[in-house]
Amino acid sequence: MRRFAPRFVALGYLTVILLAPLAMVFWRTFEHGLSPFWHSLSSQETLHAFQVTLMITAIAVPLNTVFGVVVGLAIVRRRFPGKGLLNAFIDLPLALSPVVVGLSLFLLYGRTGWFGSWLTRHGVQMLFAWPSMALATIFVSVPFVAREVIPTLRELGDEQEQAASTLGASPWQTFWRITLPSIRWAVVYGVVLTTARCLGEYGAVAIVSGRIVGKTETATLLVQDSYERFDATGAYTVGLVLAAIAVVVLVIMTLTKPKESTA
């Protein structure tokens, strides 16, 4: 019996912390059958909110993927002054509350902010529009690819890359043919986590978006908004879809990831 104790504790903990709330959302969404769910899902408002979320995610994920791989390579393979500082800075978004991120962007890009005043004069609208929302989302999802890639690169070592160079490969060819294929699962994992973070971002975007319904409202903002308008079904529906995306992504990742984590 004793050897089962740890797994009961682990499962019990996960049930209370993770599964119960998810089950609750699921139950509430379909409490009155499928049609209210379908009705809120197909509403203009919901569709638009998901569109905004997906667009911002589609901007943030590729940028942070490229950034994460480049920074990972720089930190693991190169020596340069300020490397330790850079390594620490990558984690800043994890330590900083998204609300603070939103606030700082608000101050920076507001009409009187350092960048904001210049941009306003040149007719660029950052706040209450997608550019600042994308920026906020990029900020909060910076660490994930780099944090996955760095330990994998360390473990990989640089001998294979050196071997490739003695075999005639240029640094660019070595990157595409040796380095990237060797860290591909770390990159995939990082992309998945980044995507999840982008889809779920609330605090920073809430501040800079101005929450204009049908314009700058993302899926997570819509959940809060619906809830405040006593549209519980609407809130649950969007919440469920967000949760479902997360679960599906995790399942696909678990199924496709090879047994050896770095192979």
Partner 1 sequence: MSIEIRNVTKRFGEYAAVDGFSLEVASGSLTALLGPSGSGKSTLLRIVAGLETPDEGEVVLAGELATELAPQKRGVGFVFQHYAAFKHMTVRDNVAFGLKIRKRPKDEIAARVDELLKLVGLQAYGARYPAQLSGGQRQRMALARALAPEPKVLLLDEPFGALDARVRAELRDWLRRLHDEVHVTTVFVTHDQEEAMEVADRVAVLNEGRLEQVGTPVELYDTPTSEFVMRFVGDAHRLADRLVRPHDIALAREPSGRAVEVEVERITLLGADVRVDLVDGHGERLVARVPREELEELGLERGEILWAQPAAERVFVD
Q: Which positions touch partner 1 (CB under 8 A)?
A: 159-160, 162-170, 173, 177-178, 181-182, 263
Q: How far is the CB of 85 from partner 1 (least distance, A)?
A: 22
Phi-psi region of 157 (alpha: psi -120 to 50; beta: other; left: phi over 0): left
Please state the closest distance from residue 171 (CB atom) to partner 1, in A. 9
Between 181 and 214, CB nearer to partner 1? 181
Taking the complex as a whole, the smallest distance from the CB of residue 250 to partner 1 amounts, in Å, to 24
Closest contact distance (angstroms) between CB of 185 and partner 1 is: 10
Least distance from partner 1 to the Cβ atom of residue 179, Å: 11
Nearer to partner 1, 164 or 242 (CB): 164
* Per-residue CA distances from 222 to 33, 45, 65, 134, 140 (Å): 22, 8, 27, 17, 19
Comparing CB distances to partner 1, the nearer of 81 and 168 is 168
Nearer to partner 1, 174 or 216 (CB): 174
* Minimal distance, residue 161 CB to partner 1, in Å: 9
Q: Give the nearer residue to partner 1 in terms of CB position, either 161 or 225.
A: 161
Cβ closest to partner 1, residue 132 vs residue 182: 182
**What does the DSSP assignment read for the chain?**
-GGGHHHHHHHHHHIIIIIHHHHHHHHHHTTT-HHHHHHHHTSHHHHHHHHHHHHHHHHHHHHHHHHHHHHHHHHHH---TTHHHHHHHHTHHHHS-HHHHHHHHHHHHSTTSHHHHHHHHTT---TTSHHHHHHHHHHHTSHHHHHHHHHHHHHH-SHHHHHHHHTT--HHHHIIIIIHHHTHHHHHHHHHHHHHHHHH--HHHHHHHTT-TTTT--HHHHHHHHHHTT-HHHHHHHHHHHHHHHHHHHHHHHHHS-SSTT-
Q: Maximum distance among all alpha carbons in the chain?
A: 71
Q: Which residue, 56 or 187, has its beta carbon nearer to partner 1?
A: 187
* Least CB distance to partner 1 at residue 157 (A): 9
